[in-house]
Amino acid sequence: MADGWEEELWRRPCKSQCVGGEEMAPTGATLSACSTPQVVASSTALTASRLQEYEPYTCDGSVDINGDPASKKHTGKWRACYSILGGEFCVSLAYYGVGTNLVSYLTKARKQSNVAAASNVASWQGTCYLTPLLGAFLADSYWGRQRTIVISLAIFTMVVSSAPLHSWPPPQAFTFFVKLICIRMFSSTFFCLQGMLVLTLAAASIHALDISPQGQDALPSLGLFLAALGLGGVWPCVPTFGADQFDDTDGAEKAQKERYYNWYYFAVNGGSLASTLLVYVQDSWGWGWGFGIPALFSVVGIAGFLASTKLYRYQKPGGSALTRVCQVVVAAVRKAHVDVPSDSSLLYEVPGKEAAAVVGSRKLVHTQGLSRFFDRAATFSSVDEASSAAAAMPSPWKLCTVTQVEELKVLARMLPVLLAGVVFNMAEAFFPLFVEQGEVMDKNIRGFSVPPASLTTFNCLCILILLAPCYSRVVKPVLSMATGGLKGGGLSELQRVGVGLAFATLSLASAALVETTRLRIVDERGLAHRDAAVPMSILWQAPQYVFVGVAKVFAAVGFTEFAYEQSPHAMRSSCQACSLVMVTLGNYLVSVMLKLMDSATLVGRGRHGWIPDNLNEGRLDRLFWLMAGLQLLNLLAFACCATRYKRKQATT
């Protein structure tokens, strides 16, 4: 009998190991949190051999593929992250392989006009950064991150493999084989969804059907929209799912998360850099190979991602986060006349360490600040007390827990920090102007003509060099000396974002200095009214690209880490999606600002604005200085918000 109880005790999952005193052995000894239980000497004392059989479990609510508490030894950590990072590299290569030269595909293969093609590409890129809101919502609320990633990858692969069907007979067989693999791989869960996609997208390649010109133009747009829909579940879920492989309650594992964020962004940019080779394939060998290769990489990414299914740690979806937020607002409005008690312990909260609304999620500690208006949602009224006396569970639309209220407060505190990403992403959105600036500079370097757009390689190489390979060995030791060893020799996520914003300012200032020097040469050589290149080496643009790369190393990774670490437990994918939406807003803001600035300066100068067709007649330097000033103001506003930011506090 005793031996049977001992076996049950040692094999008991995380719920009994992590409570820290709530579970009691028959001898009266309490179990310690997430470590081998310290059982007092008794008749049921365990031998050293039995101690070696003990298997610790994670304490952050994660489970394994079977729904049982995840083992620390056999699941998660880097062994699970390798396939996640490999899948991200393949998807990134496929996305950039399609998007980099997409405008040429639409004009040459689909016979669209330049205006229509450019508009479709811009709309597609904007949609790609908006659909993560939907994908993240489904992942956090219903599907879970791993299932959302698989479904999204399947959709994206279908669309990419269907794109070149019309161009060359061999790729038809190739793409049919790809589709067959995908259908066989996911038929048990997603057969109906994928079958509809195959039928819809395959229709684009059937020339025998009498399709109107309007329909022929609509089919590529439909394909682009479905591709963006597929990416919507990948981009917000991959970084968070990888971070889920490390236990927040384990200091040693949590320290590895920063390295994971670096390697994740390394995989994204590695795929982007590798995709530049596909442009040559598309131009030289045709669109069949040009889109077939990204489709193949996408299939490899799915296969690699699924290969480690048994190694992953899973966070259970917590239901609709939007519903919980609305419940807090409605309950607070209903109790607008109720006074909030000064003692926070009198506010409503369920017993135990887990939140009632989200399974496996730790409760959040009540914090002061912001409006006490929302605390009314967790305040007892006479009706709530009557319900409690009748042993009835209060309606969440009338009485919310402290954790629910704190979720809303956390989101409100995070919003100003995330909004700083809008202006930050405007720096990279200015790359087209960097290219136009390079077009009127000396592109000859030792007899070789350098394409202005190729200077973006400085940006990619800077990111790849500074991220995973050098950050831990070079950057962190330097930062440790500068900060006195804060956070284990590195920077916090907010400090990292601040450094990135500073380099974004330097990038625009560098571009302004280059343009000021270029225009001075224009005046000296009398080239103001000639659309000619200036005898100034294009390599002077390299620093502004490098500064953007350094800015992304710090800020982009910082935003990703911040969105995961500081977001409510059940809203991590959604907050990650919000950080991606800031990219779209930054691009939209640049587009609107350029149009307004061109109109305003056109009136002032009488003939042309700051950005005319002939840049020798313009004042692009003033626009760059204006943007540098805006980046500086954004940095100051962020510093103000960061110094006042209250970090999320979960129960221990």
Please answer whether residues 616 and 529 qualify as being in contact, where contact means their C-beta atoms are separated by less than 8 angstroms.
yes
Q: Select from 248, 297, 280 the least CA-distant residue to 561.
A: 248
DSSP class of 376: G
Q: Is the pLDDT of residue 344 over 90?
A: no
Please tell me whether residues 293 and 355 are part of one structural domain: no
63 by DSSP, 3-state: which?
strand
CB distance 153 to 298 below 8 Å: yes
Q: Over the Cα atoms of the chain, what is R_g?
A: 28
pLDDT at 403 over 70: yes
DSSP 8-state class, residue 244? T
**pLDDT value, residue 163:** 57
> Are residues 557 and 455 located together in one domain of the fold?
yes
Q: Tell me if 49 is assigned to some domain.
A: no
Task: Classify residue 207: in a domain, yes or no.
Answer: no
Long-range contacts, 187-190 (Cβ 8 Å, 24+): 189/147, 190/150, 190/151, 190/154
Flag whether 305 is in a domain: yes
Average pLDDT for 558-570: 88
The confidence score (pLDDT) of residue 246 equals: 92
In a shared domain, residues 475 and 528: yes
pLDDT at 426 over 60: yes
pLDDT of residue 444: 86
Binned at pLDDT 50, 70 and 90, residue 417 comes out as very high
* Mean pLDDT, residues 168-190 taken together: 40
Domain assignment present for 60: no
pLDDT at residue 504 is higher than 90: yes
Q: What is the mean pLDDT of the chain?
A: 76
> Of 284, 319, 354, at which residue does a domain stop?
319
Residue 319 contacts residue 355 (beta carbons within 8 Å)? no
Does residue 512 sit within a domain?
yes
Token code pair at residue 530? 């000639």
- Residue 378 domain boundaries: 321-408
Split into its structural domains, the chain has a count of 3
Confidence grade of residue 166 (pLDDT, cut at 50, 70, 90) = very low
Write down the H helix ranges in 467-571.
468-470, 476-483, 493-525, 542-551, 557-565
| Percent of residues, the chain, with pLDDT higher than 70 | 73
- Residue located via tokens 């610790």: 56
Q: Which residue has the tokens 């502004």?
A: 544
CA distance 238 to 111: 36
- In this structure, how many other beta carbons lie within 10 angstroms of the beta carbon of residue 143? 19
Q: Give residue 502's pLDDT band: very low, low, confident or very high (50, 70, 90).
A: very high
Report pLDDT digits (tens) over 520-537. Answer: 998 888 877 777 788 889
Helix (H/G/I), strand (E/B), else coil: 280? helix
pTM of the model: 0.76
Instruction: Indicate if the alpha-carbon torsion angle 572, 577, 580, 582 is positive or negative.
Output: negative
Q: Give yes or no for residue 427 having a pLDDT over 70.
A: yes
Is residue 386 assigned to a domain? yes
Question: What pLDDT sits at residue 179?
Answer: 44
Question: Measuring CA to CA, which residue among 530, 547, 536 is closest to residue 514?
Answer: 536
**In the predicted model, is pLDDT for residue 644 greater than 50?**
yes
Give yes or no: residues 462 and 516 share one domain. yes
Q: Are residues 141 and 111 in the same domain?
A: yes
What percent of the chain clears pLDDT 90, i.e. is strictly above it?
A: 17
Least confidently predicted of 135-149, 192-206, 400-414, 473-487: 192-206
CATH number at residue 288: 1.20.1250.20
Burial class (CB in 10 A: 0-12, 13-18, 19+), 414: buried
Does residue 61 belong to any structural domain of this protein? no
Query: Which of 375, 408, 441 is where one domain is finished?
Result: 408
- Between CA 215 and CA 400 the distance in angstroms is 51
Res 488: pLDDT: 53
Span of 206-215, 334-343, 605-614, 620-629 with lowest mean pLDDT: 206-215
What pLDDT shows up at residue 195? 31
Categorize the per-residue pLDDT at 544 as very low, low, confident or very high, splitting at 50, 70 and 90.
very high
Q: What is the pLDDT of residue 557?
A: 87
- Is residue 11 one of the residues assigned to a domain? no
Same domain, residue pair 186 and 130: yes
Question: Is there a single domain that holds both residue 314 and residue 328?
Answer: no
pLDDT at 41: 39
Are 345 and 469 in a shared domain?
Answer: no
Q: pLDDT higher for 127 or 517?
A: 517
Alpha carbon distance 243, 264 (integer Å):
10
Answer whether residue 54 shows pLDDT above 60.
no
Give yes or no: residues 526 and 587 share one domain: yes
Read off the pLDDT of each residue in 412-417 and give the average, rounded to a whole number. Answer: 91
- Confidence band, pLDDT 50/70/90 cuts, at residue 259: confident
Beta strand pairing status for 441-442 and 534-537?
parallel
Which of 386, 408, 430 is a domain's end point? 408
What pLDDT shows up at residue 221? Answer: 64
Q: Are residues 360 and 463 in the same domain?
A: no
Residue-level pLDDT at 39: 39
pLDDT at 629: 95
Residues 305 and 428 in one domain: no
Residues 505 and 586 in one domain: yes
The number of beta carbons lying within 10 Å of the beta carbon of residue 313 is: 25
Q: Are 267 and 90 in contact (CB under 8 A)?
A: no
Q: Averaged over 613-635, what is the pLDDT?
A: 89
The residues facing 99 across adjacent strands are none
